[in-house]
Amino acid sequence: MIYCGIDWAEHHHDVALVDDTGQLVAKLRIDDTTAGYRTLLDLLAEHGDTEEDPISVAIETSRGLLVAALRTGKRQVFAINPMAAARYRDRHSVSRKKSDPGDALVLANILRTDMTVHRPLPQDSDLAQAIAVLARAQQDAIWNRQQLSNQLRSLLREYYPAALEAFANWQNGLCRPEARAVLAVAPTSSRAAGLSRAQLRSALKRAGRTRGLEAEADRMREIFRGEYAHQPPLVEDALGKQMLALLRQLEAACRAADDLAEAVEEAFSQHPDADVILSFPGLGVQLGARVLAEIGDDRDRFADARGLKAYAGSAPITRASGKKHHVGHRRVKNNRLNHAGHLWAFASLKASPGANAHYRRRRERGDWHAQAQRHLFNRMIGQLFHCLQRGELFDEQTAFRSLLAEAT
């Protein structure tokens, strides 16, 4: 058996091949180019790599063109956490020396000694990988949009409190197109006070609002003409220019989030698992796509539901030593899947009587809100694993039969 370890870098990669005895049989440095990838594949072929029996590879990343080139065919690629690789490094040297070729050798020896305790990258379909890219990008865009919205809100508090009062009763506040349109024509409180009813109505209409234009324009005109504290004129104008610059960033972030949401919906609707995922209460297109993006569609990725629950961070973890015994929540988990699970459990409380009854029972037993939500997510993601394995849709009576009987 030959094992391959690759120390990944931005411009070049160090490769090491070892045999069953740990003897170094080949080492090489390749460039991060197509020629370099071809050289690597030729080296693997020289040492027995075939399509039926490929050489397993350990690398410290799970993304990039190099990983995509290695994942062709049946080859198993192991993404080793850099912190785990650092612990293995101490097994081979106590002098704390470090080099790129040495790290590649450590990665190859990890596969030689402990391949069974590490998990290879899942064999997800191309569509599932595309959904993962889009869903994660859309989630990042939403987080970026919210961060910019918070920055804009903080800036408006310094010189423009009338704007915050005018948009206070709107859902999503500053992220709404109406709010951005009004701020674009009135970047300061002095200019906002001089807006006429027709100008406000036109701004709202340009933003796409069709109902209640007159009433909304009158309400905002009254707020803008109220009495508020003001910055000096020159300072207010400077803050207004800063606000417009931040507003353009927020508009770009909102547009990016909307475009990515449409792309996610288009790709997710084509996946065969979409019907099963959407049958669960609390899961819509965007949240369901995030769940699929993190668990993938490789049915052999998790041996059972307990593995998926541990990966999601919903299953508790036990720490026992001597007379000490502690059961708590997991800190090492897939953070994106755990975040989606929290939203899923919260949304399912209104969409599912059984989920609501389960949550209420956990609260009655003394669980905090977060604990009850995590316990509900733990149960529902186990049910999702079962439904995906068997290709069945969610059934409320089957999932919460005992709880619904008690409630009745």
Rg of the chain, C-alpha, whole Å: 28
Res 269: pLDDT: 95
Q: State the burial class of residue 265 (Cβ atoms within 10 Å of its Cβ: 0-12, 13-18, 19+).
A: middle
Structure tokens at 138: 């859309």
- Of all residues in the chain, the percent with pLDDT exceeding 90 is 73
Residues 6+ apart with CB under 8 A from 371: 329, 362
Taking all residues of the chain, what is their mean pLDDT, rounded to a whole number? 91
- CA-to-CA separations, 316 to 28, 53, 333, in angstroms, rounded: 44, 38, 11
Which is nearest to 6 in space by CA: 50, 64, 46?
64
Question: β-strands 24-31, 12-18: how paired?
Answer: antiparallel
Q: pLDDT tens-digit profile of 201-222?
A: 999 999 888 888 899 899 999 9
Would you list the domain boundaries of the chain? 3-117, 130-266, 275-407
CB 261 within 8 A of CB 138: yes
Res 312: pLDDT: 94
| pLDDT at 259 exceeding the cut of 90 | yes
Res 173: pLDDT: 85
pTM value is 0.88
Q: pLDDT tens-digit profile of 342-392?
A: 999 999 999 999 999 999 999 999 999 999 999 999 999 999 999 999 999
CB 294 within 8 A of CB 288: no
- The CATH code belonging to domain 3-117 is 3.30.420.40
Q: pLDDT tens-digit profile of 123-181?
A: 999 999 999 999 999 999 999 999 999 999 999 999 999 999 999 888 888 999 999 99
pLDDT band at 408 (very low <50, low <70, confident <90, very high): low
Mean pLDDT in residue range 281-299: 95
Mean pLDDT in residue range 82-100: 80
For 58-67, b/e burial (b = at least 16 CB within 10 A) is bbbeeeeebb
Between CA 6 and CA 90 the distance in angstroms is 18
